[in-house]
Structure 1
């Protein structure tokens, strides 16, 4: 295959969908991954070709392994992998349910680990590739009513920072994106403010900062809403 391959988890909506469309526009072969096939099909409607859809539960290591093997066999080697799948349940610490706790840790943290384990092996063998991790500002600092969500994101941050050190002597790049609230489904349960960021703008910033450039490596970026630019 001539086109480079990008694989995006949580591609059915929000930032994942924006990234899928942007990468498709750049000529990539786009693999859209998510739990709901109908959502993925809706995003792919604007694509003529160069795409594939895979249903995946990132919290299941066996399911992740099965899907990644299918991509490798049916599409080819993965050049860019984006850990974007995530869930949030926002409430005071004592009120977050056990089910919500398991879901956030399983998807936000374990999902990032399981997916990365599957793709990094081949990237190391080929000594090339890029793993982009969508983490959130909640992985940089704690927030009210986001205790467990923040814990899952702090965990993901620790994982990818350690991974970057492991890959320091290779040409495999690891990138972390830490952004504030966006106009996505994640915040439907909260009062979505008009000032929330547009995921298309955030996608542009992420892609621009992960383009390969001579003698430059961008390890992470922080994207804040201008309402909170001095925080």
Structure 2
């Protein structure tokens, strides 16, 4: 499906060196957007950028950025504004998780998840707010997770970080609405990417729930179709979103009925 609204627009994507970020980049380019791809892996970014430029004939610039190095973020966005003049869409995609019971989680991993998933996301967002408010247009897309709506065993800290993303996004949406700036959260279930190489080195999650994994291209296509619209949030898959809603309404029942499934990772 084509999204004509993206043609000629400037889209900035964090965590663009693979997985969902790469797919979002490729599908944005297919729709005529010019891109700035940000991630730590400069080599991988260059490979993706070269492929995108050759295939889609759009501008695609890479900038190495570790979003936990907060002092670097302002200069990166200043460069983008100097080169492109504006940013139409910011996709805060950088994120990772570590699955471990609360008793066993390392404080370094707690700090790391919040540094990337929450503080880095907020720091990048702050860099586009003044300009988007001034131009009274633009969109901020925050990649959260169904884990931010329904926490399960061994994901306490990861879920907490995504709860924080949703809280920030929901507040920001109201703040930005008076300026005509759109804010959308994306809440996918597990996606078949390298995310689980780090989140679950044992492989038990993939072994137990691999058949329920979402496809990166389908998730990206849903996001692309909603770019520069006033859609509030994307929830995938449908059954997991229903489970999260039921948990809000009947938490004790859902936790009892779903107990066996929740402990499968």
1:114 aligned to 2:123? Answer: yes
CA distance in 2, matches of 1:109, 1:63: 16
- 1:45 CA drift (Å): 2.8
Q: Which residue number in structure 2 is paired with residue 31 of structure 1?
A: 36
1:206 aligned to 2:215? Answer: no
Superposed CA RMSD in Å reads: 1.6
CA distance in 1, matches of 2:195, 2:35: 23
Q: Contact 1:5/1:76 (CA < 8 Å) preserved in 2? A: no
Structure 1 residues 143, 50: CA separation in 2 closer, same or farther (over 3 Å shift)?
Answer: same
Larger radius of gyration: 2
1:224 aligned to 2:224? Answer: no
- 1:211 CA drift (Å): 4.3
- 1:50 CA drift (Å): 0.7
CA distance in 1, matches of 2:97, 2:238: 19
- Runs ≥4 residues deviating over 6 A: none
**TM-score with structure 2 length normalisation?**
0.81
**TM-score with structure 1 length normalisation?**
0.92
1:94 aligns to what SS in structure 2? coil
Q: Contact 1:181/1:196 (CA < 8 Å) preserved in 2? A: yes
> Which of 148, 151, 168 matches 1:159?
168
1:144 aligned to 2:144? Answer: no
Q: Which residue number in structure 2 is paired with residue 21 of structure 1?
A: 26
> Which of 95, 104, 118 matches 1:86?
95
- The unaligned stretches of length 5 or more in structure 1 are none
Aligned length in residues: 225
Q: Which residue number in structure 1 is paired with residue 260 of structure 2?
A: none
